[in-house]
């Protein structure tokens, strides 16, 4: 016959005269005892308690009295038949018998506390006649979720469905919360710290440094950084990357997770992996306006990137040649023409110049007129 008796804080389930399961729930502390305590323990009595505390807490358990008869088995003390057993999630925390005060080998220690991992534990006793039995006490104890999450992160056990705090983990009774360093804000998932100081940046100085958030430490997750370099007309941005470069690259799909994009002169260059753009050599973008965009996903960040930029004068890349039956007057000592350079054209005797005799390199890298030609009179 099964009888169920439920109270506000515990339920007592009786299965037969010698076996019982008592559920202790909803209290921050409590105690339980063997049958007839402190009188002798009932012969062949089996009893079980299930202690349940609030979510976010664990259980601390100790004995103030413990005296269960030990049996001798081939000269060794044995807890096979007379025992007190603690289990959590089908894992055996300990099995005990003997006398606590006499500190026998199989008995718990007088000052020993047993700690659970979660908020539920089962304790079970099975004994023949014993002089006293036991008296146990339990206390609800806060779980340090921050310590647990940090161990998962350290052991590379982090998963997207169990995020850890990116910056600071703050433990509170029964729970925890995350917070971020200055310049970051907490994402709606309440764990990820997003860099805000790199968003929508406009740089007008003739030189500077740009780097991924936290470089060379792993960059921030869910980054959405943009830097617009806008220098004065006639100047060209020149970029040089640090060779310490690492952006997550998908083995099969390439730059799909995290990506660095440089946009200039109506062209777009994308980068990821471990090789710096142009292998770290300086590159003249030949424009006064360059946009740099960096995005990352929620997975663990890599080292990131860093580059310096400075400026030089815009170059007119279109080559001007010597006209047939004419001459070109210019200073070509640099091997190229740049902003505000002027080139003069003249024709040989007997020929007329068709077009402008002076061409000037404009701030956008183009000549102000088409090259003239020499035509016979």
Q: What count of residues does the chain have?
A: 377
Q: Is the predicted pLDDT of residue 377 greater than 90, yes or no?
A: no
For residue 281, the 8-state DSSP code is: -
Q: Is the predicted pLDDT of residue 151 greater than 60, yes or no?
A: yes
CA 164, 223, 202, 274 dihedral sign is: positive
The three-state secondary structure class of 297 is: coil
pLDDT band at 164; cut points 50, 70, 90: confident
pLDDT digits (tens, 9 = 90+) for 186-208: 999 999 999 999 999 999 999 99
pLDDT band at 224; cut points 50, 70, 90: very high
Q: Is the predicted pLDDT of residue 174 greater than 70, yes or no?
A: yes
- Residue 118 is predicted with a pLDDT of 87
Q: Which are the contacts of 208, defined by CB distance < 8 A and separation ≥ 6? A: 229, 308, 309
Judge residue 9's burial from the number of C-beta atoms within 10 Å of its C-beta, 0-12 exposed, 13-18 middle, 19 or more buried: exposed
pLDDT digits (tens, 9 = 90+) for 289-336: 999 999 999 988 899 999 999 999 999 989 899 999 999 998 888 888
pLDDT band at 270; cut points 50, 70, 90: very high
| Average of per-residue pLDDT across 122-150 | 82
Triad 311, 309, 268: Cα angle to 5°: 95
Tell me which range, 2-11, 158-167, 297-306, is most confidently predicted by mean pLDDT: 297-306
Give the integer Cα–Cα distance in Å for 235 and 255. 31
Strands 91-96 and 133-142: unpaired
By mean pLDDT, which of 147-156, 213-222, 269-278, 346-355 is the weakest?
147-156
| Average of per-residue pLDDT across 337-352 | 94
All domains of the chain in start order, with CATH: 3-142 (2.60.120.290), 145-194 (2.10.25.10), 198-313 (2.60.120.290), 316-376 (2.10.70.10)
| Average of per-residue pLDDT across 100-119 | 84
- Residue 5 is predicted with a pLDDT of 29
Q: Is the predicted pLDDT of residue 160 greater than 60, yes or no?
A: no
CB atoms < 10 A from the CB of 138, how many?
24
- Calculate the average pLDDT of the chain: 85
pLDDT digits (tens, 9 = 90+) for 54-109: 988 999 999 888 888 776 665 566 777 778 888 988 888 888 888 888 777 788 88
**Count of helix runs (H) and strand runs (E) in the chain:** 1, 34
pLDDT band at 149; cut points 50, 70, 90: confident
DSSP character string of 312-333: EEPEE-SPPPPPTTEEEE---T
The whole-angstrom distance between residue 364's C-alpha and the CA centroid of its chain comes to 44
């Amino acid at each position: 016959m099964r009888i169920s008796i439920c109270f506000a804080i515990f339920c007592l389930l009786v299965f037969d005269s010698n076996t019982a399961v008592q559920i202790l729930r909803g209290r921050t502390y409590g105690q339980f005892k063997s049958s007839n305590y402190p009188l002798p323990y009932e012969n062949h009595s089996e009893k079980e308690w299930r202690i349940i505390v609030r979510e976010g807490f664990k259980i601390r358990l100790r004995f103030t009295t413990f005296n269960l008869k030990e049996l001798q088995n081939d000269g060794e003390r044995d807890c096979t038949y007379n025992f007190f057993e603690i289990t959590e999630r089908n894992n055996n925390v300990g099995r005990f018998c003997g006398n606590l005060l006499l500190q026998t080998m199989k008995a718990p220690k007088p000052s020993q506390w047993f700690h659970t991992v979660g908020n539920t534990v089962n304790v079970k006793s099975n004994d023949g006649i014993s002089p006293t039995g036991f008296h146990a006490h339990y206390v609800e104890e806060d779980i340090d979720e921050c310590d647990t999450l940090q161990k998962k992160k350290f052991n590379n056990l982090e998963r997207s469905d169990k995020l850890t705090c990116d910056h600071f983990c703050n433990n509170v009774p029964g729970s925890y919360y995350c917070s971020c360093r200055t310049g970051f804000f907490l994402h709606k998932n309440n764990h990820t710290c997003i860099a805000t100081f790199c968003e929508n940046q406009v740089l007008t100085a003739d030189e500077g440094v740009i780097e991924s958030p936290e470089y060379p430490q792993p960059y921030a997750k869910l980054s959405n950084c943009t830097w617009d370099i806008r220098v004065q007309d006639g100047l060209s941005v020149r970029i040089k990357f640090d060779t310490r470069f690492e952006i997550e690259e998908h083995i099969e799909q390439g730059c799909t997770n995290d990506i660095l994009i440089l946009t200039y002169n109506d062209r777009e260059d994308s980068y990821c992996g471990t090789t710096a753009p142009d292998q770290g050599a300086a590159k003249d973008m030949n424009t006064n306006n360059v946009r740099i965009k960096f995005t990352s996903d929620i997975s663990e960040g890599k080292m990131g990137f860093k580059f310096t930029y400075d400026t030089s004068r815009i170059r007119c890349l279109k080559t001007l040649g010597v006209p047939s039956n004419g001459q070109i007057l210019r200073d070509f000592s640099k091997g190229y023409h740049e902003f505000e350079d002027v080139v003069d054209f003249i024709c040989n005797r007997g020929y007329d110049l068709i077009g402008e005799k002076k061409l000037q390199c404009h701030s956008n890298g183009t000549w102000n007129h088409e090259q003239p030609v020499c035509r016979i009179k």
